[in-house]
A and B are shown apart, each in its own frame.
Chain A
C-alpha cells in the first residue's frame, strides 16, 4: 500500500510543538517540585511521544536527539539522576534545541552546529548504562539462498488464545515462507470431550518446511509467542540439498543451539515474570500517586483531550457567515414587525428565532476564545532565563491563566508582554544586594495575572522592584523635548511618559532589553488590538503595568450616531453620557480650544465632522448632541447630529481590504446592509490633539499623556 506520510506531518508538528511547550513548563515547575513524579512522568511522556512519532514520520535526527533526552528523563524517573537547577537548565536548553530541530525538519533546513554540542552535554549527564537500544539485526536478503528444509516444532502455550493469538494464523504465515510438505498434529494433550475447555489450546504441531528464508525469519513468525510457547527449528537439509558442506553443518549446529536458546529464553522469561510483576506493581503505585495529585491537572488534561482542531480560516468563515445571519435576521425582524403591525398578527416563533440566532452568534464567537495559559508559560521561561543571566532572584507567579481571549489577541499579546516582563526583571527588580540594602527580601516578586472586569480583559504585571524614578523620567522627557520644563504633570502623567516613542529609562543598556525597543512598542501593539496600557508606580516599591483588552475583537456593543446621512458607531463601553448642551455650557478656552462644562468639569469638545472631514447637519453644539466618552482616564465630548440607538455590531476590519484610517476603529454592516464606520475614540483624541500642536514637532509622535499640556502652544 502506498501511503503518503506527508499528510500526517503537520499534525505531528502541531503536536510536537505542544509537547515541547508542556515539557518546558513542566521543567520550570520541576525546579520547585523536584519530587513530583507525576510532573516528571508527563515531561517524559512528551519526549517519548515525540521520539516515537518523529521516527515514524521520517525525522530520524529528531528521533535520535529525543532518544537521549528521554533516557535522561527516564533515569530521573528511576531516581538514578537527581533533578537540580543545573540539570534542569541543560534539559531546558535541550528542549529548545529540539524545537530548533523540529523547525529544521519542518523547513528541510540543515540543523545548526550547536545541536551536537547540546547533545554531547546531555550524554554527559547520562549515568553509564549499557545502551539499551539493540543493534538491529541485519537480516540478509533471502534472494540467492538455496532452499533448505527445517523441521519446525510448535507447542503453543495452553493459554495462547487468551493472549489473542491464533495458531492457525501462525501456521499460515509459516506456509507463506515456503512449502510445507509434512504436518503432524499432536493431539495427545487433548482431554476427553467432556473435560475440554475451549479456551485452552491442547494441540501442537510438527511441520517440515522447505524455504529459502533464514532461520531467524522463521523464528520471527513466532515472535509474539516465543516467550510462552515452545518453538523448535531444526535444520534437516542434509537429506535434500546436494550442496551440503561443512559450512552447512556448522549452520545446523548453530541453529540447534539457537533453538536451545529459544527454549531457555522462555524459561528465563518465566522466572523474570516475577520481576515483571514487580514492575507492574511499581507502575500501579505510580498511578495511585498520580490519581492523588490535585484534580486540577487531571481536569486540564481531559479538557485538552476533548478538543477538535479546526483550521482558523474555516472558523473565521463560520463566524462571518453567522454574522451575516444576524444581519439578515435583523432585517427580517424589521420587515416582520412592520407586517405584524399592519395585520395585527402575533408570533412567538420569530422572537424565538432571533434569540436562537443571537445565541448562535455568541457561541460562534466563543469558538475563537483560547486561554492565555500558553503565553503565560512562555513568560515563566523568560523570567527564569533572565534571573539566571542577571544574577537576580525572582519569584514569578501567574494567575488567571485560564482566562480566555480572542485567539488573535493571544497570538499578538505575546511580544508586548515579553517586553513588559523583561523590563520588570531587568529594570524593575534589583539585584539581591540592592534589595537587602533597601530592606527588602533578596528574592524579587513578579506577578502576572489576567482577569475579567466590566466587559474587558485585564492583564496586569506587578513587580516589587525599584519602581519608576519620576525625577529621571521628567528630566529625560525634557531633554528629549517630549515635554517642556514648565509643563506641570501629574505623577501618573509622568509615569506614562515611558510609553512615548523613543523613551527608555534604563541607565545602562543591557543586552536584555536592547536599545530603542521599549514600552512605546508595547503601547503600539496593545492599541493595535483595540486595547490600552497604563502604569502605576511607586518609587522603591515597584510598578504595575496594566493592559486592558476588549473581550473579543469580533463583536461590540455600539451606540449609533448620525452625521449628515451617514451612520457611525461609538463603542458603548466608552460612552459616559450624552445630552444636548445649553449654549452657555460651551466655552472657548484659549489653551484648549472649545470645551463643554459638565457639572463643573471641563471637557474638551471635539467636532467629529471636522476631525473626520465629513459632512454634518449640526455645527452649533446647542442644536446637536454631545456624547461624553472616556478613554484611558481622559474624557472628551463628541459633537454629533443625533443619536440613533444601541445595537450589537460585528466588527469588520478595514485593513482586510484597505488600510487603517486615523480616527476609525473599523467598520460594520448595518441591518439595512449599509456599511457604517466604527469610531476610534483614542484616535479621535489624537487627531484633535494633533490639530492643536505647533508644527515644530512630528505630529505622529505626539504622546497622549501630554494631550492637555501642549495645547498651550496653539
Chain B
C-alpha cells in the first residue's frame, strides 16, 4: 500500500517546470486557483457524501466513485473561507495524491490554462498567519491572478488526508 511516492517525483516542490505546465483552474469565493492538470483524474458533479466520524471539519466525508471509497475535502473550509451551500455549480475535482485518490469540493471549474515559465511568480510573503506552504506560485495571465496549488503539500499539510506522502 505504500507505493505512493511516485507522483511526488513530479510534484513541483515550489519549482516551476521550465516549459511551463497546464493547470486546471477553479474558483473559491472570488479567487482563482490552479492545480496541475496531470493530477486531475476527473471532475464530478456534487453527489451524496457520507460523513466520516471524528474527522476534521474540512473532510466532508466519503463518496462512492465507481466502487472506490474516496474522501472529499472542502477547500473552502480548508482555506478558512466562509462555507457555502452546495449548489448545481458545485463540483468535485477528483485528484490523485500518490497512490491515493481524493476529491476537492470547489465553487466552480473555470478552464485549462497553459502557464509558461515566464508567467509564474514566486508565492509572495503573505504575512503572518497565512500558510503558503501548499502554494507553488502565482500565475499571471492578462488580468487574472491564479494561485497555483501543490496537491501533495496540500494533502500533506494535514496528516489526516495522506500521511504517507509526507512521511
- Interface on A for B, CB 8 Å cutoff? 320-321, 323-324, 327, 566, 612-614, 652-659, 661-664, 667, 669, 673-677
Contacts and interface: CB of A to CB of B under 8 A. Distances in A.
Contacts of A320: 67
Given A657-B100, A662-B54, 5 more contacts: A614-B53, A652-B68, A656-B68, A669-B69, A675-B69
A324 B65 CA distance: 11
A657 B64 contact: no
A48 B85 CA distance: 71
B54 A658 contact: no
A675 B67 contact: no
A396 B66 CA distance: 49
B54 A673 contact: no
A674 B50 contact: yes
A324 B69 CA distance: 12
B67 to A, nearest CB: 5
A656 to B, nearest CB: 7
A323 B68 CA distance: 11
Interface in B50-98: 50-55, 61-64, 66-71
B35 to A, nearest CB: 17
Nearest to A687: B54
B68 A657 contact: yes
B69 A652 contact: yes
Given A675-B62, A675-B64, A658 B53 contact: no
Nearest to B66: A324
A612 B69 contact: no
A612 B54 contact: yes
Interface residues of B, number: 26
Given A674-B64, A675-B62, A656 B69 contact: yes
B161 interface: yes
B4 to A, nearest CB: 10
A676 B50 CA distance: 7
A566 B52 CA distance: 11
Nearest to B63: A675
B20 interface: no
A interface, by DSSP: helix, strand, loop or mixed?
mixed
B138 to A, nearest CB: 30
B108 interface: no
B144 interface: no
A566 B67 contact: no
23 contacts: A327-B67, A652-B68, A654-B62, A654-B69, A656-B69, A657-B62, A657-B68, A657-B102, A658-B62, A658-B160, A659-B160, A659-B162, A659-B163, A661-B52, A661-B54, A667-B50, A669-B67, A669-B69, A675-B50, A675-B63, A675-B69, A677-B50, A677-B52
A664 B64 contact: no
B101 interface: yes
A658 B50 CA distance: 14
B48 interface: yes
Contacts, number: 77
What 6 pairs between A and B have smallest CB-CB spacing?
A612-B53, A675-B50, A658-B71, A667-B69, A652-B69, A657-B100
Contacts of A323: 67
Given A655-B1, A657-B71, A658-B161, A566 B64 contact: no
B14 to A, nearest CB: 26
Given A657-B102, A658-B62, A669-B69, A663 B52 contact: no
A677 B54 CA distance: 12
A663 B54 contact: yes
Nearest to B52: A661
A522 to B, nearest CB: 21
Contacts of A321: 67
B40 to A, nearest CB: 16
B62 A667 contact: yes
Contacts of B101: 657
A504 B154 CA distance: 41
A674 B62 CA distance: 9
Contacts of B1: 655-656
B64 A669 contact: yes
Nearest to B54: A613
A677 B50 CA distance: 8
A661 B68 contact: no
A661 B55 contact: yes
B51 A614 contact: yes
A427 B119 CA distance: 68
Contact of B53 (A324, A613, A674): A613
Interface string B136-167: 00000000000000000000000111110000
A90 to B, nearest CB: 38
Contacts of B70: 657
Nearest to A674: B48
A175 B70 CA distance: 71
B5 to A, nearest CB: 16
Contacts of A677: 50, 52-53
A658 B52 contact: yes
Contacts of A612: 53-54
A507 to B, nearest CB: 37
Contact of A657 (B48, B50, B69): B69
Given A657-B100, A657-B102, A675-B62, A324 B54 contact: no
Contacts of A659: 159-163
Interface in B17-73: 48, 50-55, 61-64, 66-71
A674 B102 CA distance: 17
Contacts of B54: 612-613, 661-663
A231 to B, nearest CB: 60
